[in-house]
Every structure is written in C-alpha cells, then in structure tokens.
Amino acid sequence: MGFQGRKAQTSGTGAAVLVAIIAALIVLYILFLPPESREELLEGKPQYGQGPSGAGQPLLLATPGRLDYLPQKEIEHTVPPITLFSTTNTVVLKSVSTLYVKNAWFDKVVGMVTFSISDLPNTDNVYLSFNAKTHTGRLSITLNGQEVLNNEITTLNVEPIRLSKDLLQAENTLEFKVSDVGFAFWRSNEYALENVRVTGDVTDITTREARAVFLVTATEKDNLEGAFLRFFPDCRPEEAGILDVYLNDHNVFSSVPDCGYLREIEISPTLLNQGENTIRFRTNRGAYLIDTITLKSKLKEAGYPTFYFEVPPDLFAAAQTGAANIVLSMEFPDDIELKRAELFINGHQRGLDTRERVFTLGINPFVQRGNNVIEIKPRTTMDIVNLRVTVG
C-alpha cells in the first residue's frame, strides 16, 4: 500500500515537470516568432486581413501623376502655302485746279499748297506738275523752305518737277512766288497755274508679310527633343529680297534663300509653345511663293513607369492558398475621360480600359515571392492620382 502511494506520487511529479517543460518550450517558441505571427497567435487576429480599403500598411503606395501616350516618334505640322508680294501704284497726293501768284508794286499774291504723305518710307518718285496758262517773270517754288525751282516758264505744258525724297516730310508745304518787276512799277509779273498736282509711287507692303498658326499639344511640348522647319521658296533670283522667318516672334531665318530649293532649319524646342504657335514670313522686296511649309517635332523615347513591391514568404504562401488576396488599385481624377493602358505584373500582361474613377485588379496569380514589379504602358494620356498594392 505504501509502495503504491509512493509510486503514484512519483508519477504525478514527473507529469508536472513534463508540463512545465512543454510550457517553457511554447513560451520560447512564441518569443522567437515574428511580431505579426505572434500577434495572430496571441490575439487571434488574421495576419492578412487589412483589405483593399487602406487600413493597414499597403505593400505599395505611389503617385504616378501624368502618363503621356506617344503613338509616334515624330509629329508633323503642315502650314498652307504663303504668297509674298508688293504692289506699287501712282497716287495723287494733292490736286489743285487753279493757283494764281502775282508780284507788282502794290499787289503781291503768294500761292501755297500743302499735302500729306501717310507712308513716307514706301513713297517714291514724287513729282509736281502743272500747266502755266499765264506766265510772266521768274517762278520760284520752295518745298518745306528749300527751293526746287527758280526759272522763267515760257510754255503752257511744264515738264514735271521731281521733289527730292530728302526734302519730303509727313506734312509738306509748297510755296509759289513770282519775281518782282524792278523799277517798272506799271507792270506786274504773274502766273496762272492750272491742274496743279503732286503725285507719287506708293508701294503697298502689307502683302509682303503673311503668317500662319499651328497647335502643339501638352504631350508634344513635354516630350520635345528637337524640331525642324522646312519650306520651299519659289522666286526669281534677280528679284528676290531678304526673306525673314519668325517663329513666335523669334527670327529663325534672315537671308536671300536659294530660289527653287527646299530649305531646312533646326529650331530650338524652347521656341515652341504649348497651344498656339505663329510662323511668319516677310520680305523687303520681290515676290515669293512659300510652299511645302512643315514643322516636324522629334519626340523623346517613351519611358514607361515601373514600380516595385516586396511579398514576404508567408504572404506569398497565403496568396497561393487563397488565405490572402493581393489587389492592385489605381485612382484617377475623374470618371469621365477614357483611360487605357497595358499593365505588366512580373511580365504578365493585363489590360486597363475604363472611365471609372477607381480601377482594381486581383493579382494573386501573378505575384512571386520576394521582389515584384509593375510596369504601366499608357494607350491614352492620363493622370493617376495614386497606385496601391494592398492585402485583403
């Protein structure tokens, strides 16, 4: 009886020691677990229960911003042909039907004619003409105080008098006088002039200049690498004047071009504006037909944004069994514009074609343990507010 009691007591003590050892081992195991696993074990929380709502730390959070779609490496802007020329016409600057001047001892009459020249630089060959119906004595004519004639007229039809351009002004005065009679007080010198006219050759230069407008998109401007302007000048070499070409008021060419040969000029990309751009051609003389006007933009090589995220081994295992869902989501500024792109998750291609504000895609089948990569190739220019990879 006593032996059996001692045996039972010994067995009970051994069991207690074994339980203590097992408990100590469990405590040590828990202490060496990763924090996430320890929290799940002690508090009963699932390790991958954050979900795509944003609660918890996402595997990836990025703000890609504007993604440009460049379907071509060059963009060509075509401008309609431009004609430059000038026309010169003889214009009557002043006309007076009659003008009378007289010089006697007790009677003097001075004639005055005023005239204006609105475009003095482009007015040439200015002449004064008249008929002398009555002519006695010497006729003196001054232009703006400078003498242009001092002679006796003996015929009815007077040779036109050229008025020097150096004497001409915007506002001009012609003064007509006749010489005095000296001691012959009983006489008088007089001129009766008819059809007094001032004429000049006025060149209209408004058609020596022409301009055209073309548009540059924001995508083109942001990705400009170089630009080239081409034009074909059709002209006569013996008549051709200096041709000036302006892009947005910057002079990019100023020379007498080779008539009948295509000309190409390299343009700095900084001279091009987003939106409206103006190209202007101007010459100082001659006639031009400017044809085959094109501005070609060379665009940078398109670079596609790439994003990386890490999938730890335990999350990868949970994703493979369906215990965790890894979700890619993209948020856009609006739900109006069409957004199209190709998504590559570790090389696996999936399409994006939506007008929605938020796009989501489960990517469990495409993830891999460790480092993962997402590449976006836009098929429309679009803005991405944020890009997330979350676990749910």
φ, ψ of residue 138 in degrees (nearest 5): -95, 130
195 and 342: one domain? no
Neighbour tally for 199: CB within 10 Å? 18
Domain range holding 332? Answer: 46-69+303-391
| Residue in this structure with the two tokens 């006729």, named with its chain if needed | 139
Question: Each residue of 114-135: b (16+ CB within 10 Å) or e?
Answer: ebebeebebbeebbbebbbeeb
Residue 39, in any domain of the structure: no
Smallest CA-to-CA distance from 297 within 277, 314, 324 is with 277
Q: Is 176 exposed, middle or buried (0-12, 13-18, 19+ CB in 10 A)?
A: buried
Catalogue the long-range contacts made by 150-155 (C-beta closer than 8 Å, 24 or more residues apart).
153/191
Amino acid at 340: R
Give the per-residue pLDDT at 304.
Answer: 86
Give the per-residue pLDDT at 54.
Answer: 36
Please state, in angstroms and rounded to a whole number, the distance separating the CA atoms of residues 82 and 211: 8
What's 195's domain CATH number? 2.60.120.660
Residue 94, in any domain of the structure: yes
Query: Could you say which of 299, 321, 344 is where a domain stops?
Result: 299
Give the per-residue pLDDT at 36.
Answer: 52
Q: What is the DSSP string of 265-316?
A: EEE-GGG--SEEEEEEEEESSS-EEEEEEEEEEEEPPP---EEEEEE-HHHH
Helix residue ranges per DSSP H, 133-287: 218-222
Sequence-separated (6 or more) residues with CB below 8 Å from residue 27: none
Give the per-residue pLDDT at 37.
Answer: 53
Give the per-residue pLDDT at 16.
Answer: 64
Residue 15, in any domain of the structure: yes
Residue 172, in any domain of the structure: yes
Query: Could you say which of 168, 185, 204 is where a domain stops?
Result: 204
| Cβ atoms of residues 220 and 137 within 8 Å | no
334 and 380: one domain? yes
pTM: 0.59
139 and 99: one domain? yes
Residue 41, in any domain of the structure: no
Torsion over CA: 216, 218, 220, 221 (sign): positive
Query: Could you say which of 204, 223, 247 is where a domain stops?
Result: 204
81 and 95: one domain? no
Mean per-residue pLDDT pooled into runs of 10, the chain (392 residues): 45 60 64 55 46 58 90 91 93 96 91 95 95 92 95 90 96 96 84 96 92 93 93 94 96 95 95 96 94 94 88 94 94 94 95 95 95 94 94 86
